[in-house]
Amino acid sequence: MLHSAYLPPSAEQHLREVVLLQFSLLRYASHESTLTETGCEAFLLRRYGQRSKEIARWLWRGSTRHAALEGFAGGTRADKLLWLRPRRREALQFLKTARGDVTPFDEKGASDWQKNGAEFLRMFYIEFRRNTIPGCFFSDAKNYSSQDFLREFVATNGGPICFVCDEGPYYTQDRNKIQTELDHFLPESLYPQFSCHPYNLLPVCHFCNLRKLHRDPLGSTGSGRLCLTDIFLPYRTVPALANAAFLSVGRGAGQFVVRGFEPNASPVGSGVSGFVQRSEVIERLYAVFERWNSHHRAAEELFRRLKKVLEQVFPKKYETEHQTPLGLLNVLDQQLSEYRREFGQQAHAVAMTWILAHLIEYELLPVVSGSQTESLFLDELKEWFDISDRNTRAQRDGQELREILRLRDSSDSAPASAEIKD
């Protein structure tokens, strides 16, 4: 993920209890071929006490709720346990840590009772998303819904910007209701054991959810299927990509092109190769850089903001900076720090930061140091301040600023370089 997302403790606890109950009910159906409300209550009694009666009543109150469970009971006991055990183990392990492989569900090759087992697991997410899961499921006896989850999530994570793409808000609020997309990072179509799992549900923007659909993060690569330790995971990867790596940027066909993240000196995961693989998985799922490069909004927003700042700052500062390029460099450094502070708070802040860093490193500093004499960035700045059609004072200001920016002819290039080295 570009930005770190934090799972609210209350959300983790409530959905953890949903996962535990899901597999308790499937265990009941694994041991029986004929299911009844009273039989279900008796099976749950030891673990859930007085709540077992309410849980069984809720399950049998709606025919669609227990129909899938009864369908799953149609398999043989040995086959049902063989199907259930690895999925239960994986779901419970994922509550503690992310490691090992997980078992995908083959819908096409599955028998009817297996399909019913998968559908039963997914049914809880539908209840969670559309309705309210009753308090009898939980140790605190409070009803819990997706709106409760989202309110806690927004309060915990603050910034409104999508954790995956950085392009805009991941939610909108209509009165007291939060509207967003909940992404199953491991798709529920392939991994029904994670359909209502707290560590598999991430609020994202509509475009990220639409782009990812049912793509499998663990899908086959050139070296075979991946396991959980081979990929970046919601809530599990700290620090996030935006803080653990730098963004490689270049110019192509007159536009800035984002090439991808490259690791810092101490990359997240198992070295540089592991970092690159994890980054490639995120791009394969959400096509973030492909989307950035298709519309160039980050560069447009960056130049709009830079132009506004420079128009305000330079008329006040160029006389006191002794007409050296150091004034320009200082202003851009300040903007760089400001954009970094906006991570997760303003759209495109990550891309704007690294495009500006590229401009400073590769198009401004070489001219300041005298190692090169040409700069597309400085040429663009000169065009911004070409104001010869204004009044005499404006003409003089524009001329003086152009003189400052004409660095290759400036007699102050050497002093500026010396000041930067200090």
Q: Is residue 365 domain-resident? A: yes
Q: Considering the domain boundaries, does residue 124 fall inside one?
A: yes
Is the domain of 51 the same as that of 188?
A: yes
Domain count, the chain: 2
Question: Please, which residues have CB within 8 angstroms of residue 319's CB and are 6 or more apart in sequence?
Answer: none
Beta strands in 189-311, from DSSP E residues, in sequence order: 201-204, 245-252, 255-263
CA distances (Å), 208 to each of 73, 184, 212, 289, in order?
37, 12, 6, 12
Q: Are residues 182 and 318 in the same domain?
A: no
* Residue 213 belongs to some domain of the structure: no
Residues 128 and 20 in one domain: yes
Predicted pLDDT at 392 = 40
For residue 352, the model assigns a pLDDT of 93
The residues pairing with 169 across neighbouring beta strands, listed in sequence order, are: 161
Q: What is the pLDDT of residue 94?
A: 96
Residue 189 belongs to a domain: yes
Are residues 56 and 178 both part of a single domain?
yes
pLDDT in tens, the chain (422 residues): 889 999 999 999 999 999 999 999 999 999 999 999 999 999 999 999 999 999 999 999 977 889 999 999 999 999 999 999 999 999 999 999 998 889 899 999 999 999 999 999 999 999 999 999 999 999 999 999 999 999 999 999 988 999 999 999 999 998 889 999 999 999 999 999 999 999 999 999 999 999 999 999 998 776 788 999 989 999 987 678 887 788 888 887 778 888 888 876 544 444 455 778 888 899 999 999 999 998 889 999 999 999 888 877 766 544 444 335 667 788 888 999 999 999 999 999 999 999 999 888 888 888 777 777 777 887 777 777 653 333 344 444 445 555 555 544 444 444 433 333 33
Among residues 179, 199, 219, the one where a domain terminates is 199
Same domain, yes or no: 192 and 312: no
**Quick check: is 403 in a domain?**
yes
Asked if residue 57 lies in contact with residue 65, where contact means CB atoms within 8 angstroms, the answer is no
Residues 182 and 305 placed together within one structural domain of the fold:
no
For the chain, what's the residue count?
A: 422
Q: Which of 327, 329, 219, 205 is nearest to 277 (CA)?
A: 219
User: In the prediction, which pLDDT does 416 show?
Assistant: 38
Within a domain: residue 204? no
Domain identity same for 307 and 188: no
- Specify if 209 maps to a domain: no
Q: Are residues 186 and 331 in the same domain?
A: no
Range of the domain at 308: 297-421
135 & 13 share domain:
yes
Whether the bond between 239 and the residue before it is cis, its omega within 30 degrees of 0, is yes
In a domain, 284, yes or no: no
Residue 137 and residue 27 share a domain: yes
How far is residue 119's CA from residue 361's CA, in Å, rounded to a whole number? 54
- Residue 176 shares a structural domain with residue 302: no
Q: Nearest 5°: CA angle at 263, between 279 and 348?
A: 65
Residues 53 and 185 in one domain: yes
Residue type at 246?
F
